[in-house]
Amino acid sequence: MTTRQQALTYGLSFPDTYQDTPFRDENWILVRYRKNKKTFLWTYYYQDQLCINVKVDPEWRDVWREAYESVIPGYHQNKDHWNTIILNGSVPEEEIKRMIAESYDLIIGKEKKRTAPCK
């Protein structure tokens, strides 16, 4: 995966997702989960490199960062819960897809659960 369109297309293949550009800077294109509006995939160019940010379980954060030089702490985000992947061809596509899928799974798990009213 080396293009923004490939990343966006894959992100949008998950159920109930949509593309968003919430900032005045059109460089930032996000993919969100429709039910809770949480973002699980950020795409942008930084220093002439295409990057994506994905949410990550803190237990796996360092595993990804140690496995690939192109996986670094999340740019402009919480470094404990987000990784940036520089899409320069050095991370296998299957691994990028896995990280995006894990990010999606973390986001959908954050939906508010209904509880019975207090009596």
CATH code of residue 14: 3.90.1150.30
- In whole angstroms, what separates CA 44 from the centre of its chain? 11
* Alpha carbons 65 and 50: distance in angstroms, whole number: 17
Identify whether 74 is part of a domain: yes
Q: What is the pLDDT of residue 118?
A: 45
* Alpha carbons 68 and 85: distance in angstroms, whole number: 9
Q: What is the pLDDT of residue 80?
A: 86
Q: What is the pLDDT of residue 38?
A: 96
Domain containing 75 equals: 4-108
Task: Name residue, tokens 């949410």.
Answer: 55
Q: pTM for the complete prediction?
A: 0.88
Q: What is the pLDDT of residue 72?
A: 95
Identify whether 51 is part of a domain: yes
Structure-model confidence comparison of residues 13 and 112, the more confident one: 13
Convert the pLDDT of each residue in 24-62 to its tens digit: 888 999 999 999 999 999 999 999 999 999 999 999 999
* Alpha carbons 61 and 37: distance in angstroms, whole number: 23
* Alpha carbons 68 and 50: distance in angstroms, whole number: 16
- Count of domains observed in the chain: 1
Identify whether 18 is part of a domain: yes
* Alpha carbons 31 and 7: distance in angstroms, whole number: 10
